[in-house]
């Protein structure tokens, strides 16, 4: 894997760490590394949840504009699909994911946070989609995931204006889920870790099914979404954890099951 990114696992939680100081600009190399990291944490049985973190100073201030500025239309026809598919690989990690946001999460950085299930931000964080200020639009899911998360009007405000929003405004509009007062970025990381620790030791296939049903259901009409839910629900009756969970409930009451992740 690239030296610009690392994957570390501790206590069932994988941390995908961006390592391209000073601003973690998301060049092609780091985009491809994100794809590889997403595949790794998806396949690893010792990973129950995932944190994406840019370090104590900054999450990611956007794409590498110097690299992108030299690309032609024909270059971008190819590259834009690779860019989107790398971010989609992160979005499709079938485990709970959270972005731990410090400093700037702008452009591609903001879009990367949108691929996660949850977002925890430092009080001084700034988020936004400033691509319009460069004469383009978001190209890694910003026009789609952002609108699904905060609604079309708020998404259009951010995309049309290119303005940055504070962590508190992001919380108010639903762009982030938690804001943390901090002395350093470690506080944000600790809060992100606390948010997903509850899923370690949980029923892995049920969590996977829940994520897929919710995410895929948002992309289709209600009847199709309900069919997706029904199929995922029925499939869990083939798992050992379903047997454990129901037997434990009958014998000991709710919340006492010891799942095996199988």
Phi, psi of 171 (to 5 degrees): -65, -45
Q: How far apart, in Å, are the Cα atoms of 8 and each of 131, 216, 219, 259?
A: 32, 29, 32, 24
Catalytic one of 32, 40, 69, 131: 131
77 to 72, 195, 198: CA distances (angstroms): 9, 38, 41
Provide the phi-psi class of 143: left if phi over 0, else alpha when psi is between -120 and 50, else beta.
Answer: alpha
Task: List the catalytic residue out of 111, 212, 229, 251.
Answer: 111
Instruction: Tell me if residue 8 is catalytic.
Output: no
Whole-angstrom distance, CA of residue 135 vs CA of residue 90: 27
| Residue 166, phi then psi, degrees to nearest 5 | -70, 165
Q: Where are the alpha helices (DSSP H) in the chain?
A: 28-43, 65-69, 73-91, 108-114, 145-150, 152-161, 167-173, 185-197, 204-217, 222-235, 240-252
Those residues whose C-beta lies under 8 Å from the C-beta of residue 235, and which sit 6 or more positions away, are 209
Q: What are phi and psi of 239, to 5 degrees?
A: -100, 150
Which residues lie below 8 Å from residue 244, measured CB to CB, with a gap of 6+? 257, 258, 259, 260
Question: What is the residue-wise DSSP string for 134-162?
Answer: GTS---SSTTTHHHHHH-HHHHHHHHHH-
Whether 111 is a known active-site residue: answer: yes
Active site residues: 111, 131
């Amino acid at each position: 894997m690239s030296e610009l990114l690392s994957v570390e696992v501790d206590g069932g939680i994988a941390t995908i760490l961006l390592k391209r100081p000073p601003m973690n600009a998301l060049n092609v190399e780091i985009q491809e590394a994100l794809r590889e990291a997403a595949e790794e944490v998806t396949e690893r049985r010792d990973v129950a949840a995932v944190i994406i973190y840019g370090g104590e100073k900054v999450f990611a201030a956007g794409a590498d504009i110097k690299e992108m500025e030299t690309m032609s239309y024909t270059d971008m026809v190819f590259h834009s699909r690779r860019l989107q598919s790398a971010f989609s690989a992160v979005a499709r990690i079938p485990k709970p994911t959270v972005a731990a946001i410090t400093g700037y999460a702008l452009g591609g950085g903001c879009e990367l946070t949108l691929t996660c299930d949850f977002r925890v931000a430092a009080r001084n964080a700034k988020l936004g989609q400033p691509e319009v200020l460069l004469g383009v639009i978001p190209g890694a899911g910003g026009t789609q995931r952002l609108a699904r998360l905060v609604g079309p009007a708020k998404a259009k405000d951010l995309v049309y204006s290119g303005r940055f929003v504070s962590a508190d405004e992001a919380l108010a509009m639903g762009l982030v889920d938690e804001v943390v007062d901090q002395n350093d970025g470690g506080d944000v990381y600790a809060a992100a870790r606390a948010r997903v620790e509850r899923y370690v030791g949980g029923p892995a296939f049920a969590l996977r099914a829940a994520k897929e049903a919710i995410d895929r259901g948002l992309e289709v009409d209600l009847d199709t979404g309900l069919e997706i839910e029904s199929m995922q629900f029925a499939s869990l009756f083939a798992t050992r954890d379903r047997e454990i969970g129901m037997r434990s409930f009958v014998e000991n009451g709710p919340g006492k099951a010891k799942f095996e992740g199988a």
